[in-house]
Amino acid sequence: MKRFIESRPIVSLIAAILVIAVVIGIFAAMSGRDSATFAEGTVQTLSEPGKKATTGVGGWFSSLFSRFESLDKLREENRILKQENIELDKKIRDNSGLEEENYELRKMLDLVEKEPSLELKAVRIVAKNPSNWYSTITINKGERDGIKKNQPIITANKELVGQVYKVGSDWAEIITILDVESGVGSMVERSGDIGITEGDASLKFKGYCKLGYLSRMTDIKEGDYVETSGLGGIYPKGLLIGKVVNVVEDNISMTKQAMVEPIVDFGSLNEVFVLMNYVEDIERKPTIDSDKRDDEEDEDEAGSSDDEDNNDDSNDDNNHEEEDKTKKEEKPEENSTSGRMELSE
Amino acid sequence: MNVLFYVIWAIVFTVFQPTLMRSIEICDIAPNLFLCFVVCISFIKGKTEGAIIGAIFGLLYDLLVGRMIGVSSLALLLLGYGAGILGNQFFDGKLIVCAVTAFICTLLYGVIYYIARRIGWNDISFSTAFFRISLMEGIYNGVVCVVLAFPTKWTMRIMGLGRTE
């Protein structure tokens, strides 16, 4: 046999191919049966671990390639999401700015509705002092809108900002109460003692102004609130100026002086009112310190149930000290405390 | 071309001084773009043009501020001339010299302004004028002057302007 194969290799090869073809033909003819033959079973069983291993490796390669594919997709998705995130952030920031503006405008509208006797013109601050030596702001309305020199500038909470100093056709310059040229007839809210609040060049940088021309007998102490006295014919009585932070006695001139911290945060001012008409008195409930208010609340709690209503009212009273602390953090929707400057009608 | 160059910068400073500069203020002190520009111009263009531009830009600044009109004009005229002399001595493009000059000019400007206010209104102490305002503004102006020197040179190059002295 061996010799035959060696002597006639081509014939042997053809014969082998024919045998294999016949075997394949036989197996193909038997393909309709239900169970595998012994040979098939043996071959399948022996090859099973190899197949499993191969499939495993193939699967690993397959998942590896699919991972690369999905990595590209993820990168693209990530890029799109980042872009969307940036856009959403921008929208949130824009909305936040709009909410704040909306809140300010609502307060302004509220004041206009509550105080029909006041002729108010809402203006926007467009620039601040170009020089470090003064404290001024520029607003976007002027002579064309009826703005005149010396008109008071107030906030929606009836806090004094300053007065009109110069007027152009469609702009006006305001000097704030911190400016050295500013002088406001003032009154200590608690005692009713009268003085003049002036700007001071050195105190300006601390954000304070000076309450001077107080007699030595003046009843004034730290924490007192200062408001306009109405004297001088420019500012109406009752506009809140600030809070006393320090009182000094001058032994030479026999007077008292106080440092006053303005209620208004000049850095964050955007919209203000110009008071177009002169009003003698803006009535306002007296400002109450938070500790006093707490005491009152305690008394109310101890009192009858009827007093609870009064207690609720006292929560709405003018508590500027608390407002100072919470003003920046206060969200527009937390508008419940904004009525502190409410007027007695 | 020369006039156009100065008009452009004058408009830019008039707009930016009360707005952008206030937004970058540190401890309530904002840089003075007008003074910085006059120092830059004096260094680049020489003492004569520095003095003229100092007077014009000083007047513009006075009109912008709206108080004591003429004081800044006079101060910047003198400072522009002085900075021009220093510029002649050190015209080798050393920005540090320009910054130091801006610092010194701000101190001198503060002294001149203080004297004027002292004469006119007597409403400010020397310590506030010098230490609280001028010293801090001088440091800030020194930095801004260095930054401002680049766009000034670029615009001069673009518009084909050079040193006159």
The alpha-carbon gap from B64 to the nearest alpha carbon of chain A, in Å, equals: 7
Min mean pLDDT across A18-22, A205-209, A287-291, B69-73 is at A287-291
User: Which DSSP letter does residue A316 get?
Assistant: T
Judge whether A197 and A214 are in contact, CB under 8 Å: no
Task: Write the CB contacts of B79 (distance below 8 Å, at least 6 apart in sequence).
Answer: B35, B38, B39, B42, B54, B105, B108, B109
Min mean pLDDT across A80-94, A265-279, A327-341 is at A327-341
Does residue A307 register a pLDDT over 80? no
pLDDT confidence tier of residue A288, bands split at 50, 70 and 90? low
Interface of B with A in 60-79 (CB under 8 A): 61, 64-67
pLDDT confidence tier of residue A30, bands split at 50, 70 and 90? low
Q: Is A264 left (phi over 0), alpha (psi -120 to 50) or beta?
A: beta
The residues with which A255 forms a beta bridge, in sequence order, are A215, A250
Distance CA A126, CA B44 (A): 34
Please report the pLDDT score of residue B138 as a whole number. Answer: 94
Per-residue burial over A202-212, b if 16 or more Cβ lie within 10 Å, else e, is bbbbebbbbbb
Instruction: Inspect the interface and report whether the beta carbons of A130 and B64 lie closer than 8 Å.
Output: yes
pLDDT confidence tier of residue A42, bands split at 50, 70 and 90? low
Distance CA A220, CA A187 (A): 10
Please report the pLDDT score of residue A57 as a whole number. Answer: 66
Please report the pLDDT score of residue A292 as a whole number. Answer: 52
**Complex-level ipTM:** 0.85
Reference B13, options B52, B61, B67, B59; nearest CA is: B61
Q: Write out pLDDT tens, residues A179-212.
A: 988 899 999 988 888 999 999 888 888 889 999 8
The alpha-carbon gap from B50 to the nearest alpha carbon of chain A, in Å, equals: 22
Q: Write out pLDDT tens, residues B28-86.
A: 899 999 999 999 999 888 889 999 999 999 999 999 888 888 999 999 999 999 998 88
Instruction: Inspect the interface and report whether the beta carbons of B113 and A133 lie closer than 8 Å.
Output: yes
Instruction: Inspect the interface and report whether the beta carbons of A131 and B65 lie closer than 8 Å.
Output: yes
Q: Write out pLDDT tens, residues B103-156.
A: 999 999 999 999 998 888 888 889 888 998 999 999 999 999 999 989 998 888
Both structure tokens of A172: 């006006």
B124 → chain A, closest CA residue:
A201
Does residue A55 register a pLDDT over 70? no
Please report the pLDDT score of residue A25 as a whole number. Answer: 64
Interface of A with B in 103-132 (CB under 8 A): 126-132
> Which has the higher per-residue pLDDT, A314 or A162?
A162
Axis crossing angle, helix B95-120 with helix B33-45, rounded to the nearest 10: 130
Please report the pLDDT score of residue A309 as a whole number. Answer: 45
Task: Write the CB contacts of A310 (distance below 8 Å, at least 6 apart in sequence).
Answer: A300
What is the SS3 string spanning A256-267? EEEEEEECCCHH
* DSSP string of A7-73, one letter each residue: H-HHHHHHHHHHHHHHHHHHHHHTTT-SS--HHHHHHHHHHHHHHHHHHHHHHHHHHHHHHHHHHHH
Judge whether B130 and B107 are in contact, CB under 8 Å: yes
Q: Does A176 touch chain B (CB under 8 A)?
A: no
pLDDT confidence tier of residue A277, bands split at 50, 70 and 90? confident
